[in-house]
Amino acid sequence: MNDYDRFVLDGRPVHFERGQSILEAALASGAYIPNLCHHPEFKPHGSCKLCTVKVNGRFGSACTIKAMPGQEVASDTPELNGIRRVLLQMLFVEGNHFCPGCERSGNCNLQALAYDLEMLTPHYQHFFPARELDASHPDVMLDFNRCIMCELCVRASRDFDGKNVFALAGRGTASHVVVNCPSGKLGDTDFALSDKAASVCPVGAILHKRVGFAVPIGERRYDLAPISAQVPTQQAEEA
């Protein structure tokens, strides 16, 4: 690797390997760019838009734009962080995210990003959608009220587990994740706790049973340090 294989992120040079996206190179270098739908083992998806940056003055998703020599990339700016706060506010009101009563509080990427980006209020009117809870599986509970449509579970089950347990249904504002079987119940599938799909949800939509409060709130991952300060840990755990 030489000086030719680098771009500038917020005034800091970032070296990259050929084929890496801006997001991959930034995270590998220890520079955090907010994201929710990214996973280092999955193909870029670009659905959450939290990783939106400006590349040579133009907006784009850092997870889908390949790193190129000489790029001038802006990420940590008042403008971009303001856009991210709006996206987070929309995610919070579109579903039912009541952090104080959630088992994932302190371990939730959505909550951690809201703290990190200083989202003080939801701003918009809550939708309060009526979505099901599925406790039919012996080891996992599904709470689609908390789903943010990142499709990480869909991609993991399809591309890694080879099971296609989850799928996307509906169109537009009616889009939602479903269990891909006639009954629509997770307990009627071959889903297992050891599946990749069981551990990729960034929020509280896929919950492991009997472990919810084993680690007390206040001692959890993002209680100890903000998400932006845990880039190496985040990469290792997502892989």
Q: Which string of b and e fits 51-68 if b means at least 16 CB within 10 Å? A: bbbbbeeeebbbbebebe
Please give the residue range of the domain that contains residue 24.
6-76
CATH number at residue 135: 3.30.70.20
Neighbouring CB atoms inside 10 A of 49's CB total: 17
Is 41 a member of any domain? yes
Q: Are residues 119 and 182 in the same domain?
A: yes
Average pLDDT, the chain: 94
Cα separation, 110 vs 133, whole angstroms: 20
In a domain, 43, yes or no: yes
% of the chain exceeding 90 in pLDDT: 88
- Quote the pLDDT of residue 132: 86
Question: How would residue 232 be classed by pLDDT, with cut points 50, 70 and 90?
Answer: low
Interval 23-37 mean pLDDT: 96
Stronger pLDDT, 232 or 139, i.e. the higher one: 139
What total number of domains does the chain contain? Answer: 2
- 103 and 158, same domain (yes or no): yes
Tens-place pLDDT, residues 122-144: 999 999 988 889 999 999 999 99
Task: Tell me, yes or no, whether 123 and 186 share the same domain.
Answer: yes
Considering the domain architecture, whether residues 69 and 155 belong to the same structural domain is answered as no
Based on the fold, state whether residues 65 and 140 are members of the same structural domain: no
- Asked if pLDDT for residue 22 goes beyond 70, the answer is yes
- Whether residue 239 is contained in a domain is answered as no
pLDDT of residue 173: 80
pLDDT for the residue numbered 170: 92
